[in-house]
Chain A
Amino acid sequence: MREKLIRCPICEAVNIDKGGEIYCRRCHEKIYNYKRVSLNRTIAFLITAIILYIPANAYPILITRKFGIIHENTILGGVMHLWETGSYPIAIIILLASVFVPILKFIFIIYLLIATKYSVKSSMIDKHKLFYITEVIGSWSMIDVFVVAILSVLIHFSAVEIIPGEGATAFALMVFFTMLSALSFDTRLIKK
């Protein structure tokens, strides 16, 4: 009986798992798709996000124009610059939020996807917790994009100017697709 009860992600009501599509008994919303549909959706969004991660890191996210000289910064370049100038806490925050969090999310989702097919040695509770962490840390990666936007408003003088680079678009889209990938994951697939 324990396995058959599932939680509605919208209204948190307890529902009986009949397999296939499920409409919540309390909020009447479609809360689960067919398992195959949501699995394919998760994989598709994840692949899109991983592809976008490459231009997000390869292209500059921040362009500084100082007295006509253009200096381009990628995410890692920016972190390195911060580290060299001695802003260690900020360098660590940016490194965690924009480099490690996306990679961790990819690894977590891939791990959960593998665990649905093959038996992996970890308890169901741990996997549910892992999924919860994946959902919560998702939005934190947006810090870098927001910082670039804020800096480009504040540093907007004739001599010095900061403008966002192409990497920012790729990065923002990458975060968007990883979040979609996590949201479309069917927690019913998590089993022992």
Chain B
Amino acid sequence: MNKNELDKFIICKKCHTLHRKIKLHKGTKALCQQCNSLLYRDHQNLIENSLALSWVTLIALIIGFSFSIINININGIYQELDLPSLIMVIFDNEYYIVGVMLSFLIFIFPLVIIISMILLLSLMKFKKSGYLVRRLMILIAKILPWSMIDIFFISLLVAMVKLFAYAQLELDTAFWSLIIVILLDIFIFKQISFSDLWDEYRKIYEV
């Protein structure tokens, strides 16, 4: 079978059913016949849109990492939570394995993913350095399952409910910016499928 012939097919990520690709109308999407999950979409400005959203995510992420997330007040004694201090406390208690894991899962990986996203989209926009774009896309695909900023946010809510009875809680700047990060993360990585980006890559670099 010819190599280009294979590009006419797509396999569903959920149930691995083989589909033949068809050309979509503007703004529509193709769903899997078996399990209704998204296969691919027709994007108007895939690169520009994702690039803009990635910048917003990066800014929100930096704010989320540098300011305090929640303040707690127990009978007049204040304590605040921010991400660097979270990791520091784990290291102070000599839980090095957990500390290293936490710093990678909720700090380094989300940051690396979003920075590589910005880099690769900018390179694609200016049609430069196909090799680097390919490496960055592979890097993102490999570490995406390990980025757990969304799980961290749910843990934050769980911890808040646990503390609700004992203390007064105040939501701070970083809490709101983390919400923005989570929403945009879902939008970027669940809506825009990677096969769309790779198709775009083919169009730009392999003509």
Residues of A within 8 A of B (CB): 2, 5-7, 9-16, 25-29, 82, 85, 87, 89-90, 93-94, 124-125, 128-129, 132, 135, 138-140, 142-147, 149-157, 163-164, 168-169, 172-173, 176, 179, 183, 187, 190
Contacts and interface: CB of A to CB of B under 8 A. Distances in A.
Nearest to B202: A26
B127 interface: no
Nearest to A157: B77
B47 interface: no
Closest 6 CB pairs of A and B: A146-B155, A7-B11, A12-B195, A150-B159, A128-B16, A10-B141
Contact of A168 (B15, B81, B95): B95
Contacts of B86: 149-150, 153
A168 B102 CA distance: 12
Nearest to A171: B98
Contact of A149 (B70, B77, B89): B89
Contacts of A150: 81, 86, 155-156, 159
Contacts of A85: 165
Contacts of B3: 25
A183 B138 CA distance: 15
Contacts of B31: none
Interface in B67-81: 70, 72, 74, 77, 79, 81
Contacts of A94: 158
Contacts of B106: 146
Contacts of A87: 161-162
Contacts of A146: 102, 106, 148, 151-152, 155-156, 159
Given A146-B155, A155-B72, 18 more contacts: A11-B141, A12-B198, A87-B161, A124-B16, A125-B15, A125-B16, A125-B17, A139-B151, A143-B151, A146-B106, A149-B86, A152-B93, A153-B85, A155-B79, A156-B89, A168-B95, A169-B98, A172-B101
B74 A157 contact: yes
Contacts of B6: 5, 13-16, 25
Interface residues of B, number: 57
Contacts of B70: 154
Interface string B143-184: 001101001101110110111010000000000000000000
A154 B78 CA distance: 9
Residue of A26, A135, A190 with most chain B CB atoms under a 10 A cut-off: A26
Given A14-B10, A26-B198, A139-B151, A149 B98 contact: yes
Nearest to B71: A154
B62 interface: no
Contacts of B74: 157
